[in-house]
Structure 1
Amino acid sequence: MGNILNCSLNYIAQDGRIIVYGGIDKAATDDLVILDVSQADYTWSRANVSTKSPLSRSYHTATLVGHYMFVIFGKNNEFLLPTTPNEVFILDTSDKSNYKWVSEFDPNLI
């Protein structure tokens, strides 16, 4: 698929897939890509996301809880101040063919 990201800071491994969100390449990005390492030939692909992505993100952290990826804090291109936004975004990765940004999380579904 060519050069996906020049620089990325956060990734999550799940089911032979490494999920990469955001990063920085002159400016923060909102890229969401997957590196499939389950086969001998690793392949990159862009994640199919059926909902609108949050703002671009760099210098953040990401944590996978069940099938939910939490993207926490970081910086984006909207915030030029030296402070860090206190936002938390949740990505539902339960359907490998169609990820969704969601606003709620039910820990009982894990």
Structure 2
Amino acid sequence: MNENIKAITIPAIIMAVFAIALGWRYVLAWTGPTQSPANGNIEAPITSLGVEQVKSGDLAVTDFVADSVTVGAVNNVGAVTSPKFCIGTKCITSWW
């Protein structure tokens, strides 16, 4: 009986030490932000505040629902208009 416990305990201890060492390696590899958002290596989050926010880079949205959309300096309620529409590198300024 004592030999059976040793046969299970030793591999379990080895696996536990390996798992802890691997986890500790990830903890040591983590690098936190160098400054507050918008000044360091992390962008400020987009929030639900009622003020204008700017995000540099792409913004992907799966389901976007809004009563109004601002394109440029024009606030559009119920419709989206713009002096030009672009999809990729193809832009149009009129429909006909």
Q: What TM-score comes out, normalization by structure 2 length?
A: 0.24
Structure with more contact order per residue of length (Cα contacts < 8 Å, sep ≥ 6)? 1
Instruction: Indicate the structure with greater helix content.
Output: 2
Instruction: Indicate the structure with greater strand content.
Output: 1
Which one has a bigger Cα radius of gyration? 2
